[in-house]
């Protein structure tokens, strides 16, 4: 049993919510989790407008279902509970308005995976 950690998510220095990074592709150095939004009326509109303004590539955009899937958004930052920024390639978003949105964060080093995301590391590699 591990202690659940919550990470702050900011877009353009504004907190938009949190994630627990419930999932990981440990050997690929990728963590991902559901975004728990705070004070965001439409996540779809927020990310669509941001990506258009900052010329971030959108892999898929469905206006009817309000589904969006982005490449890495440079202005999307994740912070540990102690305020330190999570380093890596960065975060991308995918999700649909009536369901959930997920953040995928890549470029997590093996060392960071073992220390900060130990439960994912041990789940994949076992307790060595």
List, for residues 88-113, the tens digit of each pLDDT value. 999 999 999 988 999 999 999 999 99
- Report d(CA 72, CA 32) in Å as an integer: 13
Are the beta carbons of 35 and 97 closer than 8 angstroms?
A: no
Token pair belonging to 37: 């939004």
The reported pLDDT for the residue numbered 2 is: 61
pTM of the model: 0.94
Res 128 pLDDT > 60: no
Distance of alpha carbon 128 from alpha carbon 125, whole angstroms: 7
pLDDT in tens, 44-90: 999 999 999 999 999 999 999 999 999 999 999 999 999 999 999 99
**Residue 52 pLDDT:** 98
């Amino acid at each position: 049993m591990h202690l659940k950690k919550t990470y702050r998510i900011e877009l353009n220095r504004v907190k938009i919510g949190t994630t627990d990074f419930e999932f990981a592709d440990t050997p690929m150095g990728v963590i991902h989790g559901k975004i728990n939004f705070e004070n965001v009326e439409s996540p779809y509109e927020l990310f669509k407008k941001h990506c258009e303004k900052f010329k971030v590539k959108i892999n898929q955009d469905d206006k009817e279902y309000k589904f969006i899937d982005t490449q890495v958004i440079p202005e999307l930052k994740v912070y540990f509970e102690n305020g330190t920024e999570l380093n890596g390639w960065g975060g991308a978003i995918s999700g649909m308005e009536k369901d959930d949105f997920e953040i995928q964060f890549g470029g997590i080093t093996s060392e960071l995976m073992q220390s900060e995301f130990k439960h994912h590391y041990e789940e994949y590699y076992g307790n060595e």
